[in-house]
Chains A and B, each alone.
Chain A
């Protein structure tokens, strides 16, 4: 362990670490809280819940988001659900089992203590959300309903149709807006954080740009919380929102905060395939669909070719000529294997020439089998003894519609194909980044006073995140972790008076931002920002995507360096800096992606093993399964930035005292 990385994990046995720590962490008295200012960047699940909770405690809070309202943050798009170890289904769930599933799902690259804490508070999240008016799905008896997600064998996922993220975010948002109304939170919508201000190595504030007027603003804070989400948009095409970006985290990184495991990206197996060059983003089809959809490709290559050429329809292929490859390869988990496994299996089939769609890059997700099953169940319920096939299908479709109606509508809207009649076509797409800013047990980065919450940090998901765990982490961090752990730092800050923003550190930080903006505006080149972003995306997807190799990664690094030079000499940012200018916003973000991409490749190149979302072609078993190297790589790779895009690697060893490390198997 390098001295720069102190994870501050409390002593004691796993089950008691958090309870004990929580009760002993120093407190800040209410009168002092009123003079302590906390800046929160981002208003998603982590940001909104942290803002509401901290404001309730009495801190002075400012919240910044680049969207026009806090309610737009991309947490809103999460579909499937949120995990919690409630064991309402009496199917053997427990805090330990959720902890175990998460560590195993993450391929043994996450901290035990953090994950256990997450599993512990998961139950409180559901209570909190229900109390704040989140309308979760319910059974007829009036109690909460659950479903299964990939990588688990219990039903612990709470959901609200296919809009769970929306409901949770609106719940947290309403708590935030309540505090705004009470004057405890000041909201800065359409504001983007562009620099962290540090004084003597301690975080003291930020520089933000008002996206409506272009004005640069200085804000002082005793603590700054980055709740800015992930950086999946480095791939250009991803399931992230168009505006999702790494800029806030990257500015922190360049100020000294370490970036941990940046190459751990999650490729989600069930997205709507790319339709053409115009594609601006990819749309996820919730993992919950894998509860009832069976994934297959044709077993014969000629059928796959015929499908691509539109000569036959999927339903023409006979049952015995279909290859349900997940059920074949992983009989124990079948279609519910974790995301990384499902994605790689799809890629394997498509690379082998069995892919469908005109591009050959898609597999089927078929609901026919379960439609019939549900239809028969309905017939039994209604006491119909000889239902016709049409009646069974009709009743079955009604059940499927009730469960997934909005997803099916969305699929039809985007593709123009009716998924009730034809199987869906899906393909993996970039979805989530497990990597992020390095944080200790308190969620503080290695810069004192600077925190990272939710997807923006690296902490809980290891090398692969299980479905329905992102919402859990975001809310855990915001509602139940930071309100306690921030005290450990702020109790020492009570004597720090608000630093006037004409302090030279603020002036210097603002000048730096202004310099970057002026430079971008001044290039007046010939290519749009998107042109560079798309090219970066292609490099990342082809060379640092679902499968990586030393050779390709090395090439990617030099390609990105070349592209970066080209960007800084030929990008064109029209308009003015002192007005609303979406091209300038994009340019600032893409400039950061062009640096991050290089670090991701470097991290991937250094990690000579395959684990979770990181798959190195050189390190696989004969059956094509990932081959981990626990002896040499059981660590968190934390990268320290140095001027001129050079990095130094720091390693935080991962210690497993409660879990026996094993080869991950879902067979």
Chain B
């Protein structure tokens, strides 16, 4: 049932990319447990504006856990304490009265802070541009049912494709590795017959782009998958590892 909380928030404030940044502490009172975490930030920001201060900048858009834009590192974990949810779907009933909550931006050198809790994740777009697609021009397609796909493969491919590109995997990983993100796309397309013609080239190009962006390497801690709001499995990383080695060994490039 609904009740109200009084909380203390320690939030990272950074005016712009060049600013050094520091934590600031804010008290928020009478927070309904039915609120989402971002609605709690709305309440705080509303107060800051009325008090003539600058509101806290944070990324958010759909607020239903699918666009992947929200990105807060809450009490040492991306998207906060609950498994399988994004920050926008995290509700205040996951916290207790009197809690101190520390909120930081994603930290990784390929994700530079733009302002406060907002980071630049365009590295992900560049990785997709490097090979996360099937090269088919509009209008070239054959009938959709001419290519039966085993349901299990389609389901597994969908599970990988449900990645929302939020970057929680990178944020959670002690090495700031992007393997889960990259492998989700590699694996999605590797599981489909349509993805076969470019399978080898795709994995090599995407891994090369991932490395050149400056992400760390994978040490199989599993933190990415544990914190992924879409609970994407480590089996996709394994598939990418396999594909990469065999592609490097067998491709003519």
Interface residues of A (CB under 8 A from B): 49, 52-53, 56, 67-74, 76-77, 86, 88, 124, 126-144, 160-161, 163, 165-167, 170, 173-175, 177-178, 180-181, 187, 189, 212, 239, 241-243, 275-276, 278-281, 283-284, 409-410, 413-414, 416, 479-480, 483, 526-528, 530-531, 572, 574-575, 579-580, 582-583
Kindly identify which residue among B33, B61, B154, B165 contacts A241, using a CB–CB cutoff of 8 Å: B61
Are A242 and B142 touching (Cβ within 8 A)?
Answer: no
A275 to B32, CA, bound (A): 10
CB distance from A362 to the nearest CB of B (A): 14
- The answer to the question of B157 belonging to the interface, with a C-beta cut-off of 8 Å to chain A, is yes
Are B154 and A178 touching (Cβ within 8 A)?
Answer: no
Are B144 and A77 touching (Cβ within 8 A)?
Answer: no
Are A77 and B66 touching (Cβ within 8 A)?
Answer: yes
**Proximity bits, B123-159, A CB within 8 Å = 1, else 0:** 0111011101111111111111101111100110110
Interface centre among A77, A131, A137, A170 (most CB of B within 10 A): A131
CB distance from A69 to the nearest CB of B (A): 5
CB distance from A211 to the nearest CB of B (A): 10
CB distance from A637 to the nearest CB of B (A): 31
* Chain B, 38-74, CB within 8 A of any chain A CB: 38-39, 42-43, 45-46, 48-50, 52-55, 57, 59-69
A520 to B10, CA, bound (A): 31
Kindly identify which residue among A133, A413, A530 contacts B85, using a CB–CB cutoff of 8 Å: A413
- The answer to the question of B225 belonging to the interface, with a C-beta cut-off of 8 Å to chain A, is no
A469 to B93, CA, bound (A): 36
Assuming the A-B contacts A135-B154, A143-B145, A574-B53, are A212 and B62 also in contact, with contact meaning beta carbons closer than 8 angstroms in the complex? no
CB distance from B249 to the nearest CB of A (A): 25
Assuming the A-B contacts A572-B49, A582-B57, are A181 and B129 also in contact, with contact meaning beta carbons closer than 8 angstroms in the complex? yes
Assuming the A-B contacts A180-B129, A280-B42, are A135 and B157 also in contact, with contact meaning beta carbons closer than 8 angstroms in the complex? yes
Are B91 and A416 touching (Cβ within 8 A)?
Answer: yes
Are A409 and B84 touching (Cβ within 8 A)?
Answer: yes
**Proximity bits, B157-181, A CB within 8 Å = 1, else 0:** 1100110110000000000000000
Chain B residue, CB-CB nearest to A66 = B61
Are B133 and A74 touching (Cβ within 8 A)?
Answer: no
- The answer to the question of B7 belonging to the interface, with a C-beta cut-off of 8 Å to chain A, is no
B interface residues, tally (CB under 8 Å): 83
Are B32 and A278 touching (Cβ within 8 A)?
Answer: yes
Chain A residue, CB-CB nearest to B135 = A178
Interface centre among B43, B84, B149 (most CB of A within 10 A): B149
Are A138 and B154 touching (Cβ within 8 A)?
Answer: yes
- The answer to the question of B34 belonging to the interface, with a C-beta cut-off of 8 Å to chain A, is yes
Are B49 and A574 touching (Cβ within 8 A)?
Answer: yes
Residues of A within 8 A of B162 (CB): 161, 163, 166
A86 to B38, CA, bound (A): 42
CB distance from B84 to the nearest CB of A (A): 7
- The answer to the question of B219 belonging to the interface, with a C-beta cut-off of 8 Å to chain A, is no
Are A579 and B148 touching (Cβ within 8 A)?
Answer: no
- Ordered by A's residue number, 23 sampled pairs between the chains whose C-beta atoms are within 8 Å are A53-B137, A69-B122, A72-B67, A72-B68, A72-B69, A86-B144, A88-B145, A127-B143, A131-B144, A132-B141, A135-B157, A141-B148, A143-B145, A161-B162, A165-B66, A166-B162, A174-B128, A174-B132, A180-B129, A278-B34, A281-B63, A528-B46, A579-B15
- The answer to the question of B183 belonging to the interface, with a C-beta cut-off of 8 Å to chain A, is no
Are B120 and A68 touching (Cβ within 8 A)?
Answer: yes
Are A77 and B64 touching (Cβ within 8 A)?
Answer: yes
Residues of B within 8 A of A68 (CB): 59, 69, 120-122
Are A138 and B151 touching (Cβ within 8 A)?
Answer: yes
Chain B residue, CB-CB nearest to A244 = B61
CB distance from A368 to the nearest CB of B (A): 23
- The answer to the question of B203 belonging to the interface, with a C-beta cut-off of 8 Å to chain A, is no
Chain A residue, CB-CB nearest to B89 = A413
Are A67 and B39 touching (Cβ within 8 A)?
Answer: no
A137 to B49, CA, bound (A): 47
A410 to B63, CA, bound (A): 11
Interface centre among A129, A187, A241 (most CB of B within 10 A): A241
Assuming the A-B contacts A69-B165, A71-B125, A143-B148, are A128 and B138 also in contact, with contact meaning beta carbons closer than 8 angstroms in the complex? yes
A133 to B195, CA, bound (A): 7
- The answer to the question of B103 belonging to the interface, with a C-beta cut-off of 8 Å to chain A, is no
Assuming the A-B contacts A52-B138, A69-B125, are A133 and B63 also in contact, with contact meaning beta carbons closer than 8 angstroms in the complex? no
Kindly identify which residue among B91, B125, B144, B161 contacts A187, using a CB–CB cutoff of 8 Å: B125
Residues of A within 8 A of B121 (CB): 68-69
CB distance from B184 to the nearest CB of A (A): 11
Residues of B within 8 A of A243 (CB): 61
Are B38 and A178 touching (Cβ within 8 A)?
Answer: no
Assuming the A-B contacts A174-B132, A241-B63, are A127 and B141 also in contact, with contact meaning beta carbons closer than 8 angstroms in the complex? yes
**Proximity bits, B176-215, A CB within 8 Å = 1, else 0:** 0000000000001100101100000000000000000000
Are B149 and A133 touching (Cβ within 8 A)?
Answer: no
Residues of B within 8 A of A479 (CB): 138-139
Total residue contacts A-B, CB cutoff 8 A: 234
Interface centre among B2, B39, B137, B164 (most CB of A within 10 A): B137
Are B61 and A72 touching (Cβ within 8 A)?
Answer: yes
Are A49 and B138 touching (Cβ within 8 A)?
Answer: yes
Chain A residue, CB-CB nearest to B130 = A181
A69 to B42, CA, bound (A): 23
Are B141 and A189 touching (Cβ within 8 A)?
Answer: no
CB distance from A570 to the nearest CB of B (A): 12
Are B165 and A140 touching (Cβ within 8 A)?
Answer: no
Are B125 and A177 touching (Cβ within 8 A)?
Answer: yes
Chain A residue, CB-CB nearest to B64 = A283
A582 to B63, CA, bound (A): 16
Are A275 and B34 touching (Cβ within 8 A)?
Answer: yes
* Chain B, 82-119, CB within 8 A of any chain A CB: 82, 84-85, 89, 91, 93, 114-115, 118
Are A138 and B149 touching (Cβ within 8 A)?
Answer: yes
Residues of B within 8 A of A579 (CB): 15-16, 115
Residues of A within 8 A of B63 (CB): 241-242, 280-281, 283
Q: A69-B121, A133-B188, A241-B61 are in contact. List 8 more A-B contacts (CB 8 A).
A: A67-B67, A127-B144, A132-B141, A133-B134, A174-B132, A181-B130, A242-B61, A414-B91
Residues of B within 8 A of A189 (CB): 122, 125
CB distance from A47 to the nearest CB of B (A): 14
CB distance from A398 to the nearest CB of B (A): 15
Residues of A within 8 A of B52 (CB): 572, 574
- The answer to the question of B226 belonging to the interface, with a C-beta cut-off of 8 Å to chain A, is no
Chain B residue, CB-CB nearest to A158 = B144
A212 to B38, CA, bound (A): 21
Q: Shortest 3 CB-CB distances between A and B: which pairs?
A: A142-B148, A181-B129, A131-B141
A73 to B66, CA, bound (A): 10
Are B143 and A160 touching (Cβ within 8 A)?
Answer: no
Assuming the A-B contacts A280-B36, A416-B93, A583-B49, are A177 and B68 also in contact, with contact meaning beta carbons closer than 8 angstroms in the complex? no
- The answer to the question of B247 belonging to the interface, with a C-beta cut-off of 8 Å to chain A, is no
Are B49 and A136 touching (Cβ within 8 A)?
Answer: no
Interface centre among A70, A130, A137, A279 (most CB of B within 10 A): A130
Are B118 and A580 touching (Cβ within 8 A)?
Answer: yes
Are A280 and B39 touching (Cβ within 8 A)?
Answer: yes
Are A135 and B120 touching (Cβ within 8 A)?
Answer: no
Are A530 and B46 touching (Cβ within 8 A)?
Answer: yes
Residues of B within 8 A of A284 (CB): 64
A500 to B151, CA, bound (A): 54
Are A76 and B134 touching (Cβ within 8 A)?
Answer: no
Residues of A within 8 A of B138 (CB): 49, 52-53, 56, 128, 175, 479-480, 483
